[in-house]
Structure 1
């Protein structure tokens, strides 16, 4: 990976440097494997499994000799139904793609991948794992085959990928190749910051997109990011859905020759800022004549979108998760306003790791998201139609699935349906995860209207103390919340061991430390996501009281970084719970003033295996009047989640 700092960088203070400074980023030693596959598909549909090795920072390893990959797929009886071995290339990425795979029968399958050393003296950072003595690292994931699926397979896309054409890292060729071969994306949306891209670079990249787009394999859409500030409408991606070979995107000029960018300011452009299409109303005017081929996606990045602006025919999806953070509050806002917007989640990738890559630093606080797409075929026309139909779901970067449909077959997520006001609304839901779902919830404009808590549904006694905290300090840029806290349990119980989760899984700088037999300290950062720790007590004896205290700060933009930046609305927090309070469903929690969904929660949970697959029906009482938008959220125990697009119900 090559990192470059150009003469102009829109997001901060700058000084001209000639020539540009660049250096190579070299991966560390192999730490773990990542494996990517479809999560849900029909029987006998061909598919691929992508796997690669990473260092502890999420960089793909490269130039590793004497290694090979092994794939095993096991059925529900733990029988091996497929096994393959492939040599690892000694040059380039440490990865492989297992292609032309098929599974004939319905069921839930387990995928095992191994990176094997041909040389017994191969030295790695990890201890040997798995049954094979030559295994360097391994990975377990899951895939489900279902004859009931209405499409060949569920597709995954990242519709928001930057490159060094503008403020990203690495070339467009590198980013597209990474998305196709490492991230295993079905769909990728190239995104040029409209103020910075030159016409020459835009034209070259559009030609590259034409050459790499491969129906049935890999679909790429060209697009731009309209970079208006929130007072003018806020960030919006413009995805050009039509084939650029036959329908040239209207950028950087529209069909009348008018400027089609927010403004122009770059090292290759005019010395002074040149105004363009501004505010957001002007963008609507530019593309409203062809709504079928132009998709606008409001999102929260450097400049939070403002949902006071809305064009129902152009704006069909909303980006609710990216490397900037998790923004579940945004879909709540849209539904409350009555806007009929589906959901997407993308990387907004600036660092050359699209398709759910690990967090960066500072303003990029979470793993990039993924958009699930329910489309009948993997080609530009069908994917574009499904995106505009809002047949989507959003994940926090993992291959999770969330499907929602009317029980009578009259519609699926994203559709508009009519229901007699005297009739109940019956919705079928189907969720597939990796770590196990702790809850499934349903929301409409009034808030939470239905839920299942799988810890509460269990009859097993609580034996684990679970502490979680999260949210963001701001709705806008520099939203990172920095938590510095202490967990104390009463002396009638003893901490035996603990397991951090959430952001701790991706950020090695965050930490939980045991202070003594009755207390832990933690330091972590959240950007709308959650962090947490499961505490296991000696002999399973839960404490009579639990206290969590600490301070809350944020990103230091100006001033002494070592002095910190206290959260002005509430710089400290404290919550104490009795065992009885911790044992109730969802435990006890506090909301912290200011910010976006800042919270701390204490709960006691049983030590059980949570379901990776949840499929059932939810029934909502009759008597509603007018419009109602219902969407579902599946939350895994470790903080990963999947959100469906709403079904838009008109009660008549």
Structure 2
């Protein structure tokens, strides 16, 4: 029995879907409260549960995402009653995009009321951040002008529809257990006691079918096994069972083990077909056509010699810390819903209880499946930016010690002396242990401070994209100080959906990223070597095949580690190198070759030398331009937690009209980005370093556009524009709006070119790519660090 199958047998209950090996799977629905890192009261009025009262809930036990619902919570006072100015509190988890409660408009969504059976009046106060992590969202009901006797009640109606409100708006994502925690301050001291033995909860499930997805890897060798992933998603990216169908399969090349017809009706909304292979070199694409006319494309998958591509998302959290859903759900989703090859769980260290650290290490050992599904143990060191900022820590083996930045939400203090309060402390403790570890610099709420400290032996990569947005600066800021790190992208998803982390309608502004590992085999040893050799590239979501190599006419010395930190590392003489390599060149020039194969159109490829674009590739010329005008906005406010930039505006067309309109990379369907009438469009969206916008196909050879936004205005005459874009700089952090003309039809999905790059006489010459895709996504390669001194 393989590791993941054994994990299924041990951790999951009988029932649910079956994977291709036939293992029954029903995911553990809720999170063990004893594993949640949180602040717990040390002072309580007494140990008798009857003192504080009880609460029960009346409402549906299962709801659909983005539906409106009503829940009634009835609190009954205990032996102490409820004193004048005392209160009860309903607390919910921070990570949710459900409707914000309100008490002012009885006709609007999310209206809340409360009434008591005894004397006095009730005052309601809602606060999005009124509680302690992870129970930040609070509704507090204060008793005023009287008191309640033992046995009297307060009834709270969440989503009161009696005066016209549609009810309480549910979240956009699956939740195995949406919990209402009820607390009581019965003696008006400000000390809110969680009611014992009270667990008010319901599940949130997926909505109707929105689209089908087919997922293939991007590169395998002839005869090497791979899997095809097939998934049905609702509007918000949740795997849904509401779209069963039968697909007929067409393949561009013969595939061993691939059926001609796939009956797709899993309860989980996803199906994994393992053991497929292609005998000869070539390019595999699949077309799956349903009986109802749905068309699903998968690939392209390159079949060729050399290193294979393995895709991973190594960064996410669950309900045991600040996120949602269980750790079991997380690993199942990674393997069987987003079809990852590599993953890890990265909880905030100051919230990891010893019991959860032990469980996490047990699970990573059990689900790790060499050759198929590589799982790394680890955690997120979450020190403040002032002392280093967020960093991901990965271990090759289980059983390593955890060195937290603090015990902020960990009650157990047995290992308090092991805390690493600064990044420098963490480096020292990891070096002092016989443990094999690598680290990423991460930009989340607390962004990594790359100027505070850097240990090249441990910190091998920077995360340039996650659900928090896109952050090229975490890489480029390090060029002048010769930081030689690789590029990765992950999700840092908090919803238990590694590899397919949609932002929903919350403060996360981007779709989670993916990292491609260039490896000979899918094992922990190979993953560690790929990270340390910087043989990785990251994308903002799509799986694309990227090659970038440099030919050195006069040769050079390639170092397997960073010689600045390890002068005696293994090295070899070469005339060619690839992404991530550190090479001392004997000459002053390199000929760089670039090739990209993508499942979507390629808008442009920027070959960069440090921050300079050496070559800009486009698959079209002036003569190819049509009536399509693309408007894309991007950037952020600043580097910290509140970096989201709101883009509001209007496009007005004169002397023409909009014949066709299409949003580009709009990740939140509820954000306005739409055509209004025949000659205008409006938008009210958010970016956080990433790109978003729209395409408009215009009618009228003399059409002009007046674009007005909250960050500036722009007037365009498309007929006067060539392939060069018009850019409106908008301040902030790389905040800008770009207008460009494109061909009317889809852009090419393949690209290849060569360009010469000069190697500086002193310092590093980082050579890397930024690829911009037609669907608004991007990809970034690890730089080749070429130098002569």
* TM-score band, normalised by shorter chain: 0.7 to 0.9
Secondary structure at 1:410 match in 2:
strand
Q: In 2, Cα distance between the equivalents of 1:550 and 1:219? A: 46
**2:214 aligned partner:** 35
Secondary structure at 2:478 match in 1:
helix
| Contact 2:397–2:436, Cα closer than 8 Å, also in 1 | no
**2:670 aligned partner:** 509
Which of the numbers 535, 544, 547 marks the counterpart of 2:706?
547
Q: Does 1:454 align with 2:619?
A: yes
Q: Does 1:141 align with 2:304?
A: no
Which of the numbers 498, 503, 522 marks the counterpart of 2:661?
498
Secondary structure at 2:314 match in 1:
strand
Secondary structure at 1:430 match in 2:
strand
Q: In 1, Cα distance between the equivalents of 2:690 and 2:211? A: 23
- Structure 2 CA distance for partners of 1:235 and 1:622, relative to 1, 3 Å: closer
**1:410 aligned partner:** 576
**2:717 aligned partner:** 578
**2:600 aligned partner:** 435
Larger Rg: 2
Q: Does 1:150 align with 2:306?
A: yes
**1:208 aligned partner:** 363
The count of residues paired between Structure 1 and Structure 2 equals 586
Secondary structure at 1:287 match in 2:
helix
Q: In 2, Cα distance between the equivalents of 1:613 and 1:40? A: 15
Q: In 2, Cα distance between the equivalents of 1:486 and 1:496? A: 17
Q: In 1, Cα distance between the equivalents of 2:576 and 2:517? A: 19
**1:604 aligned partner:** 741
Question: Of the two structures, which has the highest relative contact order with CA contacts closer than 8 Å and spacing of 6 or more?
Answer: 1
Q: CA deviation at 1:10?
A: 5.4
Q: What does 1:291-310 align with in structure 2 at a 5 Å threshold? A: 293-308=436-451, 309-310=453-454
Q: In 1, Cα distance between the equivalents of 2:201 and 2:411? A: 18
Secondary structure at 2:770 match in 1:
strand
**1:392 aligned partner:** 536
**2:695 aligned partner:** 534
Q: In 1, Cα distance between the equivalents of 2:285 and 2:236? A: 26
Q: CA deviation at 1:508?
A: 0.8
1:527-548 CA deviation, whole Å, 9 max, x = no partner? 111111111123xx34453221
Q: What does 1:265-414 align with in structure 2 at a 5 Å threshold? A: 265-266=408-409, 268-269=411-412, 276-289=419-432, 293-308=436-451, 309-407=453-551, 409-414=575-580
- Structure 2 CA distance for partners of 1:436 and 1:290, relative to 1, 3 Å: farther
Q: CA deviation at 1:11?
A: 9.1
Normalised to the residue count of structure 1, the TM-score between the two structures is 0.84
- Structure 2 CA distance for partners of 1:473 and 1:71, relative to 1, 3 Å: farther
Q: CA deviation at 1:12?
A: 5.0
Q: CA deviation at 1:603?
A: 1.9
Q: CA deviation at 1:21?
A: 4.9
Which of the numbers 751, 768, 782 marks the counterpart of 1:614?
751
Q: CA deviation at 1:289?
A: 4.2
CA RMSD of aligned residues (A): 2.8
Structure 1 residue runs of 5 or longer lacking an equivalent are: 117-131, 252-259, 552-571
Q: In 1, Cα distance between the equivalents of 2:740 and 2:369? A: 49
Secondary structure at 2:386 match in 1:
helix
Secondary structure at 1:374 match in 2:
strand
Normalised to the residue count of structure 2, the TM-score between the two structures is 0.70
| Contact 2:287–2:297, Cα closer than 8 Å, also in 1 | yes
Secondary structure at 1:373 match in 2:
strand
Q: Does 1:223 align with 2:388?
A: no
1:584-626 CA deviation, whole Å, 9 max, x = no partner? 33321111122x2111122222224322222332212466443
| Contact 1:109–1:142, Cα closer than 8 Å, also in 2 | yes
| Contact 1:467–1:602, Cα closer than 8 Å, also in 2 | yes
Greater CA drift, 473-482 or 138-147: 138-147
Secondary structure at 1:349 match in 2:
coil
Q: Does 1:250 align with 2:401?
A: yes
Q: In 2, Cα distance between the equivalents of 1:358 and 1:373? A: 22
Secondary structure at 1:305 match in 2:
coil
**2:288 aligned partner:** 113
| Contact 1:390–1:413, Cα closer than 8 Å, also in 2 | yes
Q: In 2, Cα distance between the equivalents of 1:274 and 1:285? A: 14
**1:9 aligned partner:** 133
Secondary structure at 1:307 match in 2:
coil
- Structure 2 CA distance for partners of 1:181 and 1:16, relative to 1, 3 Å: farther
| Contact 1:480–1:526, Cα closer than 8 Å, also in 2 | yes
Q: In 2, Cα distance between the equivalents of 1:38 and 1:339? A: 31
Q: Does 1:591 align with 2:729?
A: yes
Greater CA drift, 426-435 or 305-314: 426-435
**2:179 aligned partner:** none
Q: In 2, Cα distance between the equivalents of 1:243 and 1:277? A: 21
Greater CA drift, 611-620 or 195-204: 611-620
Q: In 1, Cα distance between the equivalents of 2:497 and 2:296? A: 20
Q: CA deviation at 1:418?
A: 1.9
